[in-house]
């Protein structure tokens, strides 16, 4: 299934049904009076977050959603039928923006969460509604109220507990494949990962978390260089970021600063998120190189730096345990 995390669609709720002008005409009722019924309510446009979706690809092929009009009223004070709502199912984590792409209308961040975006129009009154003691035969009936319409943007932000960030070829996809059952594409050239990947990490029967791998960033990503920073939105909801750095590439401090700069330029609170820095590919470094590069990186970031090898599984379990402890603490704080 192709991954798509942005889509523009048109939605329109249904118009209300029309009221009618009608009079009772029974043979043995001399002054029957008005009995025109009201129109029915138009259908709503409702969005619902469901668990079994992880892409917006369906909205590339279906971009217009219209609810039906309410039924017209009828004689004998019969009200028109209300139209059914159009329920649009989207993945959990979908945000709905106005056409300007800045005004947030809804954030469907929980399974089963629903939002009525466009309400259907009310039905018009029939002439029975206008009967009074001085106007016993009204011939007024109203048209139904129009529904609402708008163009909106859908943006998917995957729900993950921890996110992987780093330069291309830092070993993020390899780490994800080792830590979970996910099978991302792995190759020895840059930008192997073209869209975000999710994997579920299970440490025990009661401990698990979702790990997200996004395409690698390069300098100037916030200005559109490489694949840009568009996919950073998928780690905005993470409790912790695992910053993987290719220890065998050389200047590890410059690599760390490049990613930090891009996170700050992107905004969204990513630069303030808890970060665990890890030197990857220890199997491709000598002990002297590992020691010197690790010390330099710890001095630059002001925090302990992990050393691991995703390819040989070295220290991967310990890294996952640290991530799990951070996520558990964040969940506990959120619940309290």
Q: Indicate which CATH number applies to the domain containing 259.
A: 3.40.50.300
168 labeled part of a ligand binding site: yes
pLDDT at 1: 47
123 labeled part of a ligand binding site: no
Which of 60-64, 110-114, 247-251, 288-292 has the lowest average pLDDT?
247-251
56 half-sphere exposure, CB direction, 13 A CA radius: 22
pLDDT at 106: 92
Q: Are residues 33 and 91 in the same domain?
A: yes
215 labeled part of a ligand binding site: yes
Among the listed residues 68, 72, 83, 76, the one whose alpha carbon sits nearest the alpha carbon of residue 20: 72
213 labeled part of a ligand binding site: yes
Q: Are 150 and 9 within 8 A, CB to CB?
A: no
> Does the reported pTM lie above 0.85?
no
pLDDT at 182: 65
Q: Are residues 247 and 135 in the same domain?
A: no
Provide mean pLDDT across the span 3-19.
Answer: 91
Q: What is the domain extent for residue 72? A: 6-156
Domain presence at residue 1: no
Q: Are residues 207 and 327 in the same domain?
A: yes
Q: Are residues 133 and 276 in the same domain?
A: no
Domain presence at residue 140: yes
Q: Give the residue, 301 or 215, on which the prediction is more confident.
A: 301
pLDDT at 226: 46
Q: What is the 3-state secondary structure (H, E, C) of the chain?
A: CCCCCEEEEEEECCCCCCCCCCECCCCCCCCCCECCCCCCCCCCEEEEEECCCCCCCHHHHCCEEECCCCCCCECCCECCCCCCCEEEEEECCEEEEECCCCCEEEEECCCCCEEEEECCCCCCCCHHHHCCCCCCCCCCCCCCCCCCEEEEEEEECCCCCEEEECCCCCCHHHHHHHHCCCCCCCCCCCCCCCCCEEEEEECCCCCEEEEEECCCCCCCHHHCCCCCCHHHHHHCCCCEEEEEEEHHHCCHHHHHHHHHHHHHHHCCCHHHCCEEEEEECHHHCCHHHHHHHHHHHHHHHCCCCEECECCCCECHHHHHHHHHHHHHHHHHHHHC
Q: Are residues 188 and 71 in the same domain?
A: no
pLDDT at 104: 92
4 labeled part of a ligand binding site: no
Q: Are residues 187 and 329 in the same domain?
A: yes
Residue 117 has pLDDT above 80, yes or no: yes
Q: Are residues 31 and 138 in the same domain?
A: yes
Number of folded domains that form the chain: 2
Select from 128, 156, 184 the last residue of a domain.
156
In CATH, what number is assigned to the domain containing residue 133? 2.70.210.12
284 labeled part of a ligand binding site: no
156 labeled part of a ligand binding site: no
258 labeled part of a ligand binding site: no
Q: Are residues 198 and 329 in the same domain?
A: yes
135 labeled part of a ligand binding site: no
Q: Are residues 150 and 62 in the same domain?
A: yes
216 labeled part of a ligand binding site: yes
DSSP strand pairing (45-50 vs 114-118): antiparallel
Which of 84-93, 95-104, 226-235 has the lowest average pLDDT?
226-235
Q: Are residues 120 and 182 in the same domain?
A: no
173 labeled part of a ligand binding site: yes
304 labeled part of a ligand binding site: no
Q: Are residues 70 and 42 in the same domain?
A: yes
222 labeled part of a ligand binding site: no
State the average pLDDT for the chain: 85
Select from 156, 171, 195 the last residue of a domain.
156
76 labeled part of a ligand binding site: no
Domain presence at residue 133: yes
Provide mean pLDDT across the span 78-99.
Answer: 93
Residue 212 has pLDDT above 50, yes or no: yes
pLDDT at 2: 63
Select from 156, 175, 208 the last residue of a domain.
156
193 labeled part of a ligand binding site: yes
280 labeled part of a ligand binding site: yes
5 labeled part of a ligand binding site: no
Provide mean pLDDT across the span 269-289.
Answer: 86
Confidence of residue 185 (pLDDT cuts 50, 70, 90): low
Domain presence at residue 135: yes
Provide mean pLDDT across the span 121-144.
Answer: 92
Chain centre to alpha carbon of residue 128: 47
Q: Is 248 left (phi over 0), alpha (psi -120 to 50) or beta?
A: alpha
291 labeled part of a ligand binding site: no
Confidence of residue 194 (pLDDT cuts 50, 70, 90): low
Q: Are residues 174 and 123 in the same domain?
A: no
């Amino acid at each position: 299934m192709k991954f798509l995390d942005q889509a523009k669609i048109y939605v329109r709720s249904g118009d209300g049904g029309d009221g009618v002008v009608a009079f009772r005409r029974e043979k043995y009722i001399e002054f029957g009076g008005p009995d025109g019924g009201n129109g029915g309510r138009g259908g709503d446009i409702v969005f619902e977050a469901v668990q079994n979706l992880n892409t917006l690809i369906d909205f590339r092929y279906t971009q217009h959603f219209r609810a039906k009009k309410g039924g017209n009223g009828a004689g004998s004070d019969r009200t028109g039928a209300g139209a059914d709502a159009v329920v649009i199912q989207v993945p959990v984590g979908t945000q709905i923006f106005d056409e300007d792409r800045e005004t947030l209308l809804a954030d469907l961040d929980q399974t089963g969460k629903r939002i009525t975006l466009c309400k259907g129009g009310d039905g018009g009154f029939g002439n029975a509604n206008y009967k009074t003691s001085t106007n016993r035969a009204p011939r007024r009936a109203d048209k139904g109220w129009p529904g609402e319409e708008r163009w909106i943007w859908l943006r998917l932000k995957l729900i993950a507990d921890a996110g992987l960030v780093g330069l291309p070829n830092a070993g993020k996809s390899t780490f994800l494949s080792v830590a979970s059952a996910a099978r991302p594409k792995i190759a020895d050239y840059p930008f192997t990962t073209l869209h975000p990947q999710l994997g579920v990490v299970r440490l025990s029967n009661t401990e698990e978390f979702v790990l997200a791998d996004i395409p690698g960033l390069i300098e100037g990503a916030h200005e559109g260089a490489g694949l840009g920073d568009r996919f950073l939105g998928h780690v905005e909801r993470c409790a912790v970021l695992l910053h993987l750095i290719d220890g065998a590439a050389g200047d590890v401090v410059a690599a760390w600063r490049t990613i930090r700069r891009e996170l700050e330029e992107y905004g969204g609170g990513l630069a303030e998120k808890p970060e665990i820095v890890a030197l990857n590919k220890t199997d491709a470094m000598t002990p002297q190189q590992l020691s010197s590069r690790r010390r330099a990186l710890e001095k630059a970031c002001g925090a302990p730096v992990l050393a691991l090898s995703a390819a040989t599984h070295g220290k991967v379990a310990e890294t996952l345990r640290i991530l799990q402890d951070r996520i558990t603490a964040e969940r506990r704080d959120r619940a309290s």
